[in-house]
Amino acid sequence: MSQTKIPVDLILSKLAEDAEKAQSRAHKASEVLLDDLDTDLAQTPYEVVYQEDRVKLKHYLPRTEIRYQTPLLVVYALINRETMLDLQPGRSVVERFLDAGIDLYMIDWGYPTRKDRFLGFDDHINGYMDNVIDFIREKHAVEKINLMGICMGGTFSVIYSALHPDKIKNLVTTVTPTNFDTKKGLLHVWMEHLDVDRVVDTYGNLPADMMNLGFLLLNPARLMIDKYVGFMENMDNKQFVENFVRMEKWIFDSPDLPGEVFRQFIKDCYQGNKLIQSQLEVDGQRVDLQKLTMPLLNIYGKYDHLVPPEACEQLVERVGSTDTEDLCLDTGHIGIYVSSKFQEAFAPKIAGWLKERDQIPKKKSPSRKTAANKPSAGLKKTVQKAKPSKDKAQPVTQPKSSRSRTASKATNG
């Protein structure tokens, strides 16, 4: 019986080859990491045309002829930053909208401070959002605008459109939770049992670091291990490194969440599931989904671990509109906006859908009350322009407005 020989020479040759490759990759990775990296976010030029307290309204400078009669306002979540839609040149939802000829606005919610802890749904929806929308309507002399909401910003947009259907022509919701009675997402399971009163009474505003830790724990293997292993394997690829750093900067550029917003979002939505049942109340007004009679496009991700399809897909069945479309894409919560594959399936779809519904009547009466003198808003309206910038608008300063409802809440709290 012959003895099996170990091919030592082949093994040593393979080890030498692998060591040489590793050394070459390490040298190239060192050059990439020590080189100047382009990791800036939100590089599409815009102006800040309206500001109230910490909230700013961005108006993006046109890249081509405006081909839509109706301007579009995008409302991002209060969690994380709206810069996700303009993460990098060439992979930007903002650029796609501008290239389609859309007159584009976006709300920047800013960074809440301790005094914002008492601002709830009413302050953000019937206050800031309503004032911003009235400003756009006044500027363009139109009765209605198009509204697009993202995640929690989509929930706010649904609520706003039900309370103010006379101001919204078309509604687009993306990865927007409206049905919270589901066990599919771990976040929904956690929130169902959260003692939100204790959290808010302890912290005031919900700290951004606490939210980020919670999101990482939803999928720790992928979000805390796999992505960094992937980074190590691609450190010699400059484009990969730049994209990785951009995403990390976006993830950890997280504002705190106003305490009363968090309290109502958890109690009335995650724990009470009132929105989809048309039982939610904001400032004493019931949010009746049957009042959503405008065209509705509802887009969400099949593999979304934060807002699963079960949290989104019931909306079109509950609204009063006869012009609805439900679109589920084979991607996750963020992939809808940044994946190169879905860049072609997302923004162009929305642009085309809006174009089909773009004909609008001009504003009927010039004597309509503005946001500044509406008794229900309780807010001061200040409009200031910033100089256009290729990177970002210069900060706009203004006296901070004092809200009577906020003061009342602070006194009673």
Catalytic residues: 151
DSSP 325: E
Give which of 73, 196, 71 is closest to 129, Cα–Cα: 73
Give which of 41, 314, 70, 282 is closest to 171, Cα–Cα: 70
DSSP reduced 3-state for 194: coil
**Ramachandran quadrant class, 378 (left: phi over 0; alpha: psi -120 to 50; beta: rest):** left
Chain Cα centroid distance, residue 32: 31
Q: Cα–Cα distance between 337 and 250 in angstroms, integer?
A: 13
Q: Cα–Cα distance between 367 and 207 in angstroms, integer?
A: 43
Strand pairing category for 145-150 and 72-75: parallel
Would you give the end-to-end CA distance of the chain in angstroms?
A: 89
How many CA atoms lie within 13 Å of 186's alpha carbon, on the beta-carbon side? 9
Residue in this structure with the two tokens 């699963």, named with its chain if needed: 308
Cβ 95 vs Cβ 89: under 8 Å: yes
User: Is 2 buried (19+), middle (13-18) or exposed (0-12) by CB count in 10 A?
Assistant: exposed
